[in-house]
Structure 1
Amino acid sequence: MFKETNSITGYKEKDIHYTILSTNENASKLAILLPGAGYTAQAPLFHYSTGVFLHKSIDVLQVNYTYNDKFYDHFTMDELVEAIHHDVGAVIDKVLEENSYDDYYVVGKSLGTIAMASLINREIFYNAKAVWLTPLLNRDDVFQSMLQSRNESLCFIGDDDTHYNAERYRQFAQNPKLVTRLLEGADHSLQYKSDPVQSVDLLKIVIKAIDAF
């Protein structure tokens, strides 16, 4: 397996690291993984999603930003969003300067769904498949992007997630391109707080769905 780790100079000169994984030098598809603030690309949902994509000879780009770093402590939310858009866009521009693909997957969790909301509006990603993991439904940009998206999409969120919004979630039924799965009792990590064994079963459900997507 080929693995390349590199970085770009991001918002306010902060280095943003990224990793490209590949099992096929002629891969025609790329999966872009956008983790949460504290939920890294090495956490279970992304670790096993990476395995699913690589098994299908799909290259994987892991954007390894660290927005829980002290560097960002003084940022307002608006400035943090600006940083997210800038950094993710810069990483993708750099990668696509050096590599060419025909098809894309975009997988985002939590804070990563902020980047997804703007990313899928780029022309190159009009036909990308989108996987929304615990999206920040109380944010208008994320909600409207999901509601209006023309991308074939999956969404997983638990009803014990602080970012779950029942009224907004119900409106997703208006979008035939968006397949949603509400996971009863699951929290923002897509886990059950008091049941680790059942949490593993839930992880299997999500990964199987991504594999079949």
Structure 2
Amino acid sequence: MKESSRSVLGYKKLKIPYVIQSKTDEPKGLAIMLPGIGYTVKSPLFHFSSGAFLNKEYDVLHVIYPYPSTDYEDFSFEEITSALIHDVSTVLNEVIDHTIYKSYYVIGKSFGTMAIPTVLDMLPIPNTKAIWLTPRLIDAPVFETLKTCKQDSLCVIGDKDPFYDAKKMDHIILNPSIECMIPTDANHALEVDQDILTSIDTVRSVIKSIDDFITLKNGVLNHEL
């Protein structure tokens, strides 16, 4: 596997690192990984989903935003959110300007899902899919995009997640473009409190759903089903 580490100057000229992983010289597309603040690209959901995309000959883009650092300690949550959207857009523009991809997936976890609406606006609708992991349903753009987006999407949130809202999920489920997965008793980490083995099974089922979603929604691979 090849790995290229780079950076851009983001919000307030602060450095935003990113990494592109690749297993082929002719990738089928690009998977854009937007982690949470505390849930990094090295955490299980991103580690294994990155592997799923690499195995299907997609390049993987990890945006490594440094918001827990002291550079951001005086930022309000609203300004951190503005920085996220600005920084993700800047990284994506840099990557797209230098490479032509035919297919895109954007995968966000929690805080990272707040940048998905902007990313979906930047990319061609027919060639873009989204995976929302524990989305912040309290964020209006996130909820409205989940209700109305036309891009094929997978939404995963546990019923014990503090951002879970049954009434909002009832609206999201009505969107024909979205497949929803609501693991029973799963918290914000998509794990079950005080139950390690069930937590492992839950994470495994989420990764399988992601892998199935990539395969079923990727026209290039449909002939293999």
Q: TM-score, normalised by structure 2?
A: 0.91
Q: In the alignment, which residue of structure 1 is the partner of 2:43?
A: 43
The structural deviation recorded for 1:45 is 0.1
Counterpart for residue 190 of structure 2: 190
Cα shift at 1:79:
1.4
Most deviating of 103-112 and 77-86: 77-86
d(CA) in 2 for partners of 1:20 and 1:96? 12
Partner SS state of residue 80, structure 2: helix
Work out the CA distance in 2 between the residues paired with 1:80 and 1:74: 10
Counterpart residue number, 1:148: 148
* Greater fraction helix: 2
* Alignment check: 8 A CA contact 2:102 2:127 kept: no
Letter in 2 for 1:85: I
**Could you tell me whether the CA contact under 8 Å between 1:120 and 1:126 is conserved in 2?**
no
Segments of structure 2 that go 5 or more residues without pairing to the other structure are 214-225
Deviations 1:159-201 (A, max 9, x none): 1111111211111122011111111111111111201111111
Q: For this pair of structures, how many residues does the alignment match?
A: 213
Instruction: Please name the residue that 1:62 is paired with.
Output: 62
For the residue of structure 2 that corresponds to 1:121, the secondary structure is helix
Contact 1:119–1:125 (8 Å) recurs in 2: no
Provide the rounded CA distance (Å) in 1 between the counterparts of 2:77 and 2:47.
28
User: Aligned partners of 2:183 and 2:71: how far apart in 1?
Assistant: 34
Contact 1:158 1:190 in 2 (8 A): yes
- Structure-1 residue corresponding to 2:137: 137
Instruction: Show CA shifts across 1:31-79 (max 9, x none).
Output: 0000000100010000000100000111000001122223222212221
Q: Which residue of 2 aligns with 1:93?
A: 93
TM-score (normalizing by structure 1): 0.96
Partner Cα separation in structure 1 for residue 76 and residue 87 of structure 2: 16
3-state SS in 2 of match to 1:8 = strand
1:18 has 2:18 as partner: yes
Whether the aligned pair in 1 keeps the contact of 2:103 and 2:127 (CA below 8 Å) is yes
- Alpha-carbon distance in structure 1 between the residues aligned to 2:67 and 2:150: 29
Matched with 1:29 is 29
Runs of 5+ unmatched residues, structure 1: none
Aligned-residue offset at 1:204: 0.9
Deviations 1:93-121 (Å, cap 9, x if unpaired)? 11111111000011000011001022112
Residue identity (%): 40
Match of 2:106 in 1: 106
Could you say what the CA RMSD is over the residues aligned between the two structures, in angstroms?
Answer: 1.1
Q: CA deviation at 1:126?
A: 5.1
CA offsets 1:80-102 (integer angstroms, 9 cap, x no match)? 12101110001011111111100
1:127-149 per-position Cα deviation (integer Å, ceiling 9, x unaligned): 31110000000111100011110
